[in-house]
Amino acid sequence: MVKKQISWILALALGAQAFLYIPAMAAEAGAEIYTAGISETDTSALGVDTVGFGGEEPYIVEDLDAYETMEILTMDQEGTVSVYSCDSKEEVGRKIGELSQEEGISVIQPNYRYEDQALAVNDASSGEQWALQNDGSFQMDERTIYPIYANPFGRPSHGSELLGLLVQVREKHAAAGVDINIEEAWAKYGNGTHDAIVAIIDTGIDAGHEDLAGAMWVNADEIPGNGIDDDGNGYVDDVNGWNFYNGNNQIYNGQEDSHGTHGAGTIRASIGNGAGIAGIVPGNRVHLMALKALGGEDGDGSTASLIQAIRYAEENGAVICNLSLTTTVDDRAMYLAMANSSMLFVVAAGNGDSRTGIGLNTDHTPFYPAAYDLDNIISVANLSFDGNLHDSSNYGAMTVDLAAPGTYILSTTPGNTYSYMTGTSMAAPMVTGAAAMVYSYFDGIGPADVKEILLSTVTPMENLAGKTMTGGRLNVGAALSYDIIRLSRSGFGNAGHAPENGTAPLIETRSVDRAGGTYLQVRVVDIDGDLKTLLYAQGELTAEAFASGTAGEAFTVNENDVATFRVDHAGTYTFYAADSRGNQTVETVRFLDMSVGPGGM
């Protein structure tokens, strides 16, 4: 589950007559600051997503409701992070007060939970890939010696909660025949007929892994390591993809990239090389594009980085995109980015309630982006080796399409190692691999046809009826035996068609009342990446008024597409955004009574 991203927001003052504007990244040496008769805004005491300049006052999130985990995270000026656990909201408040008085602390905030959809990792020295061929012998018993990771990014841990999960698994035995029927698919596939590029938007990928040799997409227009953007696409030395999390070409940063490396192996690990495991797709037809949009110990990321990765993938020829991530936030910008894309998105359905470990019905409790009503999405649940949905897997007859193996999946992990992981994050790459195999096998089909084939050829399972739209599990062998004459060739109905002239920028606003003042957060997202003009003005203005060049003051947003204004006077304010194709958006905000803060909007 992807948590709510914290935005590092720069402060702008918005008043009736006097303005202070601080351009994004103005804290850099030599940045120009424009003022008009007022002092610089002090945002250090705000409980909103702001950060002070100069490094003297800490950034503090004071809203106690934001501390859902009862954990406080601090960062000092050297970048060292500490976490404090509390038993109540009252204790959280007291501890924040104490920490705010300590010298050297630059950040005090909740220890947010950004989660990919992997539940557990075993550092496996050997194992069986029951998902590919399940003869009923796979089991987890008391003799298992694999060390257990608390999450796929952290250090080995033997916590009681995770141990309890293992005890449950040790009591289960595999049900013969519950697999994806890969041997029949391999027999038909041969060497495929044409190439396919698969984008993995995730953590990074260890492209040097022994079992991923030859699996990575290569940007043929880029000369590796010369420090030049040879193809002029704005990314220097993007040979195998790009790191949108750190803003560089390093697609692999070590152990934090276990999650993406694991998914890559499921799809495309070498077959018959005498080492490790077998991926789903044989041969060299399928190429993996590494797009690192998540990082850190918890695998966090932002909407901005995900949208940039989607745009990069499509511009560089990807036809299928794996998204093993979720959030409970209905993100309009992410929705539009996916709706405008012609790619087929294979998305993890999610791992349910993080407190109970029990899967949820996403027809009633949506997890995004899997639950978006878009035709270019396949939502995937986690099937266990005993033929049942894993207890943690989300389900939904309207929002989840099918199930695929996702419990104790053995695959590649950094440093030429192999590990078990569990979660819908592991089930999604199974379907992504199958989609890539189908696309590269049949001539003359598109991404919408791939989805139709996969959903039409599932193996029905009684216990999946009413749990998924198809009521079945992935069957790759049946998919490759599909008679494509039966295809509807209808394409994606409500997705896959970006407007001819692009999409207008999206403006979202939110007011907050903190430290005796009212602040307005303005988020501007441009799906097409060609944002040209940002302006704001007092009063209710039309797009034409801004476009004429006679109205408005310029502003910029930070790397998370957000700017913050301090509102000193009641009144009406209009924000304007335009892209290079002439698409325009205006958003008007009214503050009727400053005494009531955000409620006066």
Between helices 182-189 and 424-441, what is the axis angle to 10°? 30
Query: Six-digit token pair at 297?
Result: 């110990």
Q: Which entry of 206, 211, 259, 298 is annotated as an active-site residue?
A: 259
Q: Report phi then psi at 188, rounded to 5.
A: -85, -30
Question: What is the per-residue DSSP string for 312-341?
Answer: HHHHTT--EEEE-B-BSS--HHHHHHHHT-
Residue 81: count of CB within 10 angstroms of its CB: 12
Of 116, 179, 202, 211, the active-site residue reads: 202
**Residue 456 designated active-site:** no
Token reading at 166: 């293992």
Task: Give me the torsion for CA of 459, 460, 463, 468, rounded to 10°.
Answer: 90
Whether 305 and 293 have beta carbons less than 8 Å apart is answered as: yes
Q: What type of residue is 72? A: I
Rounded CA-CA distance 92/106 in Å is 18
Q: Is 425 a catalytic residue?
A: yes
- For residue 123, the Cα-to-chain-centroid distance in whole angstroms is 25
Residue closest to 144 by CA, chosen among 160, 165, 113: 165
373 annotated active-site: no
Residue type, 70: M
For residues 436, 437, 441 and 446, what is the CA-based torsion angle, rounded to 10 degrees?
-30
Smallest CA-to-CA distance from 457 within 471, 444, 447 is with: 471
Angle between helices 424-441 and 258-268 (to 10 degrees): 40
Give the active site residue among 392, 425, 440, 511: 425
Enumerate the active-site residues: 202, 259, 425
